Structure 1
Amino acid sequence: MTYNITLLPGDGIGPEVITSARKVIEATGVSINWEIVEAGNDAIKKHGTPLPEFVIDSIRNNKIALKGPITTPVGKGFKSVNVRLRQELNLFANVRPIKSFEGIDSIHQNVDFVIVRENTEDLYAGIEHMVGEDAAESIKIITRKASERICKFAFELAKSQGRKKVTLVHKANIMKLSDGLFLESGKKCAKSYEDIQFEDIIVDAMSMKLVQFPQDYDIIVAPNLYGDILSDLSAGLIGGLGLAAGANIGHDIAVFEPIHGSALDISGKDMANPTSAILSGVMMLKHIGEYGSAMKIEDALAKVFRDKRYRTIDLGGDLGTKEFTQKIIDTM
C-alpha cells in the first residue's frame, strides 16, 4: 500500500531534519507518495502569505502531514502558522510523548508519560486587543465541548496504551469559571473510565512535581497554555527538545512535527539533531498502522543512543545531521 502524505519542510533547520526523517522512514520500506508544499518564510516570498490555501487543501485531502518547524514572529507580524493549522483543520489534541533514552544523560531516567494538550482554545485563540494606548487585553476561552472532547481523548489514549492514570492540570483555585469548567469536564469524563485512576493538580504544583517525580505520571491532560509550557519543561527532563516529538490530531486529520523551533542560527550548518523529527515520523507511522516500520526506527534509535560514541552536537558529540541520520539507517 502506498500512502499519500503532505510534507512541509518548514523554516530554518526544518528542511534538514525533515529530510532526515523522510530518509529514515523510507529506509524501513514503507511506500509513501510525498506531496511537498511550502509554508512559512518561503511561502511568504513566493505567495505573499505564510500559509497558502493550497497547503490546507493538501492536508485535508491526504489526512496526514509531516511538518517541519515554522518561524513565528515575536510581538508583531503574522499569526502563528501552527495555531492557524490547528484551528483551520480542527486539530484539537496536541500529543507529546515524553520518554527517556538509555544512554542519554538527563535529569531523570525511566521517564515515560504523555502530555495531551487542548489545542484550539484558551489564550491561544488569539483574541486580544489594545484598551487605549497603555493596556492590552487577551481573552481566555474554555468551552465545555472542547474540554470534554480533550478529556475523553486523554482517557481513550490511556486505555489504548494500557496506562493506569490520567492527571488533569488546572488553576481552578484562581480562575474558577474557566479552569473550573475544564476541571468539571475532566471529573465528568472520568466517571466513564472506572478502571483508570483520575487525579487533578494545580499547574504550579505540577511544575514542581514533574521536576521531582516524573515517573509518577502516565497521561497528563491540560488546557492549551499550561500544556505548552509543561511540554517543554518535560522535554528538558529527558535531554531537551531535540529528543521529543509531537502530533496534532483531529477527528480524521493528523499533523506530526518536531517540537523544537526553526533554530535559524544553525540553519544549513549540518548541526541540527533530527531525532525529534524522526520520532515524529515514528508517531506518524503508528497512526497509519505501520507498527513494524515504527518499531524498526525506535529500536535503531535506542541502539545508537546506548552507544555513547554516536551523539549529535547538542548532546555533546560531534556527529552532524546527515551522519547521525545515516547511522540510524545503517543500524536498522
Structure 2
Amino acid sequence: MTRVTLIPGDGIGPEVAFAAKEVVDATGVKIEWDIVNAGADTYKKTGSFIPKTLLESISKNRVVLKGPITTPIGKGFKSINVTLRQKFDTYANIRPLKSMPGTKGRFDNVDLVVFRENTEGLYAGIEHKINEDVTEAIKVITKKGSIRIVEEAFKYAKEQNRKKVTAVHKANIMKITDGLFLDCAKSVAKKYPDIEYEEKIVDNMCMQLVMYPEKYDILVMPNLYGDILSDLASGLVGGLGLVPGANIGSDIGIFEAVHGSAPDIAGKSLANPIACIMSSAMMLDYIDEKQAANRIRKAVWTVLEEGKWKTKDLGGNATTEEITNAICKKP
C-alpha cells in the first residue's frame, strides 16, 4: 500500500481534490491517504500557511496529490506553491496538453508536453525595494538547474517515443541568463541524436502555438516562460479545467491541477474536477500503477466523448459530483 499526502487546498480545492481521490479509490489501487491542509484557510485557523504537520507528512510520504491553494496577491507572502517546490526541490514541472473530445478546444490535434524549470528563474523570489519608485527582481539561471530540466525533457521524449524537443528562450535579449540555459540545452541535445532538437524565442513560440500547435511535441524552458506558455496552451485544448500537472524531484512527486483556487465558484459544485483527476493519473504513473492510470484517462475521455456530463466551463450543466460519479462508473 502506498501512503499519499492529500492537500485539499482552498476555494474549489477540496471539491476537486476529493473528486480525484474518489476516482483513484474507484480503481481499486490501495492508497493510504494522509490528509493535511495548507493555504489561506489553514492560515486563518493555525496562523501558518504551511503547517509543520504538512511538511512532516510530505517528507515522510514523498508522494502528494494537491488541490489548488490561495496565496494573497501583493501582500508580502511568498507563494505556497513556490515554497513547496523549492523546499522539496521538485525541479521539473510537467504539464501534458492534449486535445480531448467534447471540449471547447480550438484545435483537435494538440498533443504536447511543457517541461518548466520549477525552482529558479524570476520565481526564485529574490526581490528588493530600492526606493519608493524603484523595485528589483533577480533572475537566477544555473547550469545545474538548466541541465536537469532539459535532461528530464529528453528522457521523457525517449521513454514516450516522442520525436522532437523545442527549447524556448529569450537569449537574444537576456544573453547571459537565457544564454546559459540555451547552452545547457544544446549540450544535452547532443546526447540524444535520435530526437530532433530546435530552439524558439519565447514570443515567437507564443505565435507558433496559437497558429500551428500540431508542429510541436516537447517544450522545455525556464520557469516564467513555462508558467505563461502552459496556460496559453491550455486555452488551445479547452481551458485550465482539463490540464494536469506534476512537480517532480529526485525522489518526490507533487501532483496538482494547473488551475487556481477559483474562490468565486467555491462551494457551488460548479468546479471541473478533470484537471485534478488527470493529475491523479499522473500520480498513479509515478507509483507504477500505470494500468489504473490509463483506466482513469480512458474513463475521462469516454465521459467527455459521450457529452452527457459536462461542467459549465465545458458548455454543460453537470455538477462536480455528477461528472465525478460518471467517471467512476466507467470500467
* TM-score in same-fold range (> 0.5): yes
Preserved CA contact (<8 Å) 2:93 2:116: yes
1:86-140: per-residue Cα shift (whole Å, max 9, x none)?
0000000000000111232311112111000000100100101111111100000
Q: Following TM superposition, by how much is the alpha carbon of 1:54 offset from its aligned partner in structure 2, in angstroms?
A: 2.2
Could you tell me how far apart the structure 2 residues matched to 1:60 and 1:154 are? 25
1:100 corresponds in structure 2 to: 99
Pairwise mapping of residues 157-306 of structure 1 onto structure 2 (< 5 A)?
Answer: 157-306=156-305
- Residue 75 of structure 1 deviates from its aligned partner by 1.3
How far is 1:52 from its partner? 1.6
Higher mean C-alpha deviation, range 51-60 or range 94-103: 51-60
- Write the distance in 1 (CA, Å) between the matches of 2:102 and 2:315: 12
- Report the counterpart of residue 126 of structure 1 in structure 2: 125
Distance between the aligned counterparts of 2:223 and 2:142, measured in 1?
12
Separation (CA, whole Å) in 2 of partners of 1:288 and 1:62: 12
Verify: 1:68 aligned to 2:75, yes or no. Answer: no
Cα deviation per residue 1:236-294 (whole Å; 9 max; x = unaligned)? 00000000000100000000001111000110011100000000000000111111111
Shift of 1:55: 1.1
- Give the letter aligned to residue 112 of structure 2: F
Give the deviation of 1:29 after TM superposition: 0.4
Amino acid at match of 2:232: L
1:190-239 superposed Cα distances (whole Å, 9 cap, x missing partner): 11111111100100000000111111111100000000000000000000
Is contact 2:104-2:239 (8 Å) kept? no
Over residues 284-309 of structure 1, what are the superposed CA-to-partner deviations in whole Å (9 max), with x where a residue is unaligned?
00111111111111111111111122
Identity %: 56
CA deviations over 1:14-40 (Å, ceiling 9, x no partner)? 000011000011000001000010100
- Provide the residue aligned with 1:146 in structure 2: 145
3-state SS of the aligned residue for 1:72? coil
CA distance in 2, matches of 1:46, 1:279: 30
The alpha-carbon deviation at position 42 of structure 1 amounts to 2.6
**Which letter does structure 2 place at the counterpart of 1:6?**
T
Residues 40, 71 of structure 2: 8 Å contact kept: no
In 2, Cα distance between equivalents of 1:200 and 1:182? 11
- Provide the rounded CA distance (Å) in 1 between the counterparts of 2:127 and 2:138: 6
Q: Greater shift after overlay, 47-56 or 87-96?
A: 47-56
Gaps of at least 5 residues in structure 1 are none
Q: Unpaired runs of 5+ in structure 2?
A: none
Q: Could you tell me which residue of structure 1 aligns to residue 48 of structure 2?
A: 49
With the length of structure 2 as denominator, give the TM-score of the two structures: 0.99
Q: How does 1:24-35 map to 2 (within 5 A)?
A: 24-35=23-34
Partner Cα separation in structure 2 for residue 242 and residue 102 of structure 1:
14
> In structure 2, how many angstroms separate the alpha carbons of the residues matched to 1:171 and 1:70?
30
Counterpart secondary structure, 2:140: coil
- Mapped to 2, the partners of 1:304 and 1:18 lie a distance apart of 19
Letter in 2 for 1:136: T
Cα distance between partner residues in 1 of 2:198 and 2:316: 40
Paired with 2:92 and 2:52, the residues of 1 have a C-alpha distance of 22
CA distance in 2, matches of 1:115, 1:281: 18
> Secondary structure at 1:131's aligned position in 2?
strand
How big is the shift at 1:48?
Answer: 1.0
What TM-score results when the alignment is normalised by the length of structure 1? 0.98
Task: Give the distance between the partners of 1:208 and 1:43, measured in 2 at CA.
Answer: 40
2: CA distance between counterparts of 1:189 and 1:106?
A: 33
Partners of 1:218 and 1:210 in 2: CA distance = 11
